[in-house]
Amino acid sequence: MQTPLTAQYQPIPLPVQPDVSDFRALRKPYQAMIVAQFRAIVDRSEAGPLYPWIDTRLDLNTGADLPPADPRFGPGLVSGWVQGRGLEGLATFGAWLGAWAGSREADALLGRVRRLTAALLAQFRAARAQYGGHLYFTMLPDGMPITVDERQRQLRVAMGPDTPHNYSDLFAAKAMLAAAYFLGNEIALDEARAYCRAVYEDILSLRFRTDQPQPAGLASVVSTAGGYAHGPHMIALGMATHFACQEPGPASVEMGLRLARRVLYAHVNLAGRWPALRPNDLVEFITAEGGPHVDEAGRVIADPGHALEFVGLFLKFCAVVRQGGSITPEQLGEMAHLEGLMLPVLLRAFDNGFQPSLGGIRKSLDLLTLQSIDDTMPWWSLPETIRAGLAAAAISSTMDDLAACLSIAAQCHNAFVENYVRPDIHLMAIKLRDGAGRVSSMVPAYPDADPGYHTALSLIDALESLKVLEARAGR
């Protein structure tokens, strides 16, 4: 039986103006990348000292394990962001790999994935039970939330049932949901449902808070004084997608639509309503009055990668809803309307971010001047844009729209495999290039390698969109 475990990786370039048939050659390389990344995660986590936490404490610039000396990121500390992303990645990969059940090699890896997923889910539940129902950006191995002060002292962060939820909670809640569905663990599923709903309510009520420390010298795309971020609504679309997949119905559909409405109607310059900005710009922060937030330096901050990620996540949600078939006519009409707004957002965000001469997407810019704020280029925005471009292509209504979406996906594919992918290190990707295109050692959020969240999950979804495109093309 041919399985993704036998797929071979080749860095295949695409023409800048491709057609659907050009992407067919990427099926095996993408499968190889997905499998290699999760196989490495399972190998390292089974052998590592932090087991049953996921171990991706790997410097992808050098191939070496991260040094233990840093008090923020040493081996005795655990990142809530990494673990939440990793658990969701494992569960999603396990479900994807399950399509090849019956192959001895696939079954063996699937069994290991299930065991690690179960151990990690149990760790999440134990940490939440002990520390007020929350996870945090930095934790001790038992789940205790901590922060590190300017004197490098580890200080406990007090968290209880009334503490607003944060990004680690969001990643953890949707990860626990995905894991409980994958494992068929009904007790954990009830807990995950309640956790997701609590996080969702905090997002809707704007009680939600960031738990990420602010990197020195960089403009924040996570939080800013007096500004409300779209990030929680965008990321929570993944939660809505899990519900829509496993529990299809109007309630699950409404969750995703409500999140998308917030991003589109509050953060996107629809119909040029903000004359100082270009049409379809997506701003990171809005004011309480509903306008673009202007920071102390007089800038309106945008993160093109976040805008591109939003497009991909919402279009995936829509695809899952259509497969489930449980949606009211009113919801179907609204969903189609919102889908129609995605292509202009995709085109604008790509234009704002992609640096063709450097082969990456810049982290942030000022929408008033179009000048870079942070000109570093993280890896994750490229696979997220491959996902978004192919998903938009799959619902395109004209040949021009199809060509534009395929071109975006192809350019990001080429940049990713040429400038970021490490064939010699589990087919993972270096984390960051600087504004001159050089590999950077700066730590933008956490130093761990991607635990399959941005890269592998984006490529899994890209392969699903490719199936739709091939069916439409009659191949």
* 203 inside domain: yes
* 9 inside domain: no
Q: State the average pLDDT over residues 313-327.
A: 94
* pLDDT at position 329: 95
Quick: pLDDT tens for 273-311: 999 999 999 999 999 999 999 999 999 999 999 999 999
* 337 inside domain: yes
* pLDDT at position 76: 78
- Mean pLDDT, all residues of the chain: 93
**Confidence class for position 213, pLDDT limits 50, 70, 90:** confident
**Confidence class for position 51, pLDDT limits 50, 70, 90:** confident
**Confidence class for position 69, pLDDT limits 50, 70, 90:** low
**Confidence class for position 145, pLDDT limits 50, 70, 90:** very high
* 309 inside domain: yes
* pLDDT at position 96: 97
Q: State the average pLDDT over residues 399-413.
A: 98
* 4 inside domain: no
**Confidence class for position 475, pLDDT limits 50, 70, 90:** low
**Confidence class for position 94, pLDDT limits 50, 70, 90:** very high
Question: In this structure, are residues 156 and 170 in contact, taking their beta carbons and an 8 Å threshold?
Answer: no
* pLDDT at position 430: 96
* pLDDT at position 404: 98
Q: Is pLDDT of 220 > 50? A: no
Cis geometry, peptide bond prior to residue 52 (ω within 30 degrees of 0):
yes
* 373 inside domain: yes
* 3 inside domain: no
> What is the pTM assigned to this prediction?
0.96
Q: State the average pLDDT over residues 105-110.
A: 95
**Confidence class for position 72, pLDDT limits 50, 70, 90:** low
Quick: pLDDT tens for 2-48: 889 999 999 999 999 999 999 999 999 999 999 999 999 999 999 97
Range of the structural domain that residue 100 is part of: 14-473
Q: Is pLDDT of 176 > 50? A: yes
Q: State the average pLDDT over residues 373-387.
A: 98
Q: Is pLDDT of 70 > 50? A: yes
Q: Is pLDDT of 71 > 80? A: no
**Confidence class for position 52, pLDDT limits 50, 70, 90:** confident
**Confidence class for position 219, pLDDT limits 50, 70, 90:** very low
Our count of domains for the chain comes to 1
* 65-74, 106-115, 354-363, 438-447, range with the lowest pLDDT: 65-74
Q: State the average pLDDT over residues 147-152.
A: 83
| CATH of residue 324 | 1.50.10.10
* pLDDT at position 154: 87
Question: In this structure, are residues 125 and 188 in contact, taking their beta carbons and an 8 Å threshold?
Answer: yes
